[in-house]
Amino acid sequence: MYVYGMETPSLTPEDWLDLALAELTKGGFGALKAQPLAKKLNVTRGSFYYHFESLESFHIAVIAHWSERSSGQIIQAAREASNPQQMLDDLLQTTLRSGEALERAIRSWSTVQPFVAKAVEKVDQERIEVAETLLTQAGVPKADAKPRAQLLYWAAIGRLMLPFPENNLLSREEISDLARLVSRGRA
């Protein structure tokens, strides 16, 4: 892994993508240009084009990297969960207590770039499906699981879009209570 500010003999595509996510978080999608990123990595633009065919292919890779880093491991763990109730609680703890800056930047980018919007929509659907599966495994009737999963997800994304999401956090206990509430069967 590249350490910012220090020369390294060989950058990997992941080094570029990690920097891209950091710069996207700080400066928005306008920061995702070859020359400024190369300067931050202390290399020439040629290094960028060695790893990526074009700026567009780089942007596509950035979105794929975001998807894997923000959801991939969590989704895999949820699919393999032996205790769906605990996994739902863990998932909600993570979702409702983190990720503001990068998620906001990605969603902002998706408002002006159709391929980003499509990628975000795919990630959103995968995340909702995982929550739906966990709810069903926890005993919620299938007909109730999908709308509950959607409502949970919409609430999480809505919180991120508030002007100061860090000021709108639930406590760990409140999130656990919410996980228990939504995973109950029909009233």
pLDDT in tens, the chain (187 residues): 445 554 445 899 999 999 999 999 999 999 999 999 999 999 999 999 999 999 999 999 999 999 998 888 888 888 788 899 999 998 888 888 776 899 999 999 999 999 999 999 999 999 999 999 999 999 999 999 999 999 999 999 998 888 888 888 889 999 999 999 999 876 5
Residue 1 placed within a domain? no
Residue 10 placed within a domain? no
The C-alpha angle 167, 168, 170, rounded to 5 degrees, equals 120
Residue 135 placed within a domain? yes
Residue 157 placed within a domain? yes
Residue 162 placed within a domain? yes
Task: Tell me which residue has tokens 């491991």.
Answer: 73
Domain encompassing residue 168? 83-182
Residue 42 placed within a domain? no
Residue 11 placed within a domain? no
DSSP 98-119: S-HHHHHHHHHHHTT-HHHHHH
Q: d(Cα 157, Cα 141) in Å, to the nearest integer?
A: 24
Q: d(Cα 172, Cα 39) in Å, to the nearest integer?
A: 41
The answer to whether the CB of 23 falls within 8 A of the CB of 40 is yes
The distance in angstroms from the start CA to the end CA of the chain is: 51
Residue 9 CA to its chain's centroid (Å): 30
The C-alpha angle 86, 69, 104, rounded to 5 degrees, equals 95
Residue 36 placed within a domain? no
Structurally, how many domains does the chain consist of? 1
